[in-house]
Structure 1
Amino acid sequence: MSLPVDPVRAAFRAECARLTEILAELDDADLDRPTGCPPWTVRELIAHVRTGTGRLTDMLAAPAPPRAEVDAAGYFGAAKFTPEVDAERIAGGRRDARQVDRATLPTDLDRTWRAADAAVAAAPPERVVRTRHGDAMCLTEFLRTRVVEVGVHGLDLAAALDRPPWLTTQAAAVIVDLLTDGRPAPAELGWDHLTLIRKATGRAALTAQERAVVDAAEFRWLAFGS
């Protein structure tokens, strides 16, 4: 009997697999569309996501730091989105996009995320990794950030492609838990997971009434760059 998969890892796998299916349906015209993450095109945003999913493989091949210093919420702190870091992140996505053509995009992403998943499966749960920012994080906490990257940017891609969101229920649950620090949103808002994610990440604006409810409840969610 196989062991149950950790919910965060299950969310990572489900969201990556769904994105891979979507990529197989795209043509060059789709890939050249602009996105809500300027100046990236769909192709460049996909390249950014692919690179992000693959980071775990190299991180787990490197020596483990002695202890974790940052959790997933801390990873998305303001210091990670300075103009210099943001400029390099944007340039990296554009640079990576030039190295992959449309025909190989689905295969390349599939190979990349599966290699990362295999590396996670082979590592002990308490493993600590070092991020590209130099932070030491527990493996599961860093994997939560990968679910955010694939899931939230999946919303950006769906919007750019004029498609309904394909966010999986597994990924939505992980992202909402991180954004809200595990606390429920005020019931008066009536938000489902997709709406909360859109509102909390700036993909949809708060109405005046929603802002009043949020402020009155002193409800705060994690803020991070796009």
Structure 2
Amino acid sequence: MELFAQSWSALRTAVGELSDEDFGRPSGCAGWLVRDLLCHLVIDAQDVLITLVTPTEAEPNRDSITYWRVSDTRPTGDDPLDALIVRLAAAYQDPALLTFHLDDVGAAAGRAAALADPAQRVATQDYALTTADYLGAYVLEWTLHHLDLIANLPHVTPPPTETLTRAREMLEQIAGTPFPASISDTEALRIGTGRRTPTPAESTELAALAARLPFVLG
């Protein structure tokens, strides 16, 4: 719960550091500009709000790790929702409007998470899980997208060390094996999720794990 708040606050703070020109730069999500990524974050924040007010009596069948579905197919941009996000982002025109919307909905999602009962069971995507596990899953989401945000913006503050460490732990649990200690948390996350390809030296260090990459999360 605390890492959810920390990762979300850090990401929103980083958005506040953007210049208008930054919105038109490529993000770390293939095919998306920074403005497209921010529009996706608005929808993510809405999903958090919706899920937190969707209680269920069902027994949990997912946790913060098994919440993630793993594919080896990289996004192509042809998904209808992905295409919609690009159109929505372009419709904002003034970056300040997009920033305002994200700040407004994002702050509400943060408040709702802080007020939530960690033991409450919630339903989303036909899953049942505790609020703590649901919010815990988003530590990986927020941290990856924070890295996407700064991929081509070195002047923007990176994710906190604590959330990078936890996101890496989560990815390693999803993978079922650790990444080499010689690879930093940031690069393990980028390489592991296909945001960049490993160098020949990194591939050697990754050994058999290299053949299983990337882990495309959804």
Could you say whether these structures have the same fold, taking a TM-score greater than 0.5 normalized by the shorter chain as the test? yes
Identify the match of residue 31 of structure 1 among 23, 43, 54: 23
In structure 2, the gaps of 5 or more residues are: none
Q: Are 1:110 and 2:103 an aligned pair?
A: yes
Q: Match for 1:68: what amino acid?
A: P
Q: Are 1:195 and 2:187 an aligned pair?
A: yes
**Percent identity of paired positions between Structure 1 and Structure 2:** 29
When normalised by structure 2's length, the TM-score is 0.79
- The residue aligned with 1:155 is 147
Q: How does 1:1-226 map to 2 (within 5 A)?
A: 9-78=1-70, 87-97=79-89, 98-99=91-92, 101-131=94-124, 133-163=125-155, 166-181=158-173, 184-187=178-181, 190-215=182-207, 223-225=215-217
In structure 1, the gaps of 5 or more residues are: 1-8
Kept after mapping to 2: 8 A contact 1:78/1:224: yes
Query: What is the SS of the residue equivalent to 1:129?
Result: strand
CA distance in 2, matches of 1:165, 1:121: 24
Distance change >3 Å, CA 31–CA 124, structure 1 → 2: same
Kept after mapping to 2: 8 A contact 1:47/1:93: yes
Q: Match for 1:115: what amino acid?
A: A
Distance change >3 Å, CA 109–CA 193, structure 1 → 2: same
RMSD: 3.4
Distance change >3 Å, CA 210–CA 33, structure 1 → 2: closer
CA distance in 2, matches of 1:91, 1:28: 22
When normalised by structure 1's length, the TM-score is 0.76
Distance change >3 Å, CA 15–CA 78, structure 1 → 2: closer
Distance change >3 Å, CA 22–CA 63, structure 1 → 2: closer
CA distance in 1, matches of 2:28, 2:209: 30
Question: In the TM superposition, what is the alpha-carbon distance from 1:101 to its structure 2 partner?
Answer: 3.8
CA distance in 2, matches of 1:156, 1:215: 26
Question: In the TM superposition, what is the alpha-carbon distance from 1:121 to its structure 2 partner?
Answer: 2.8
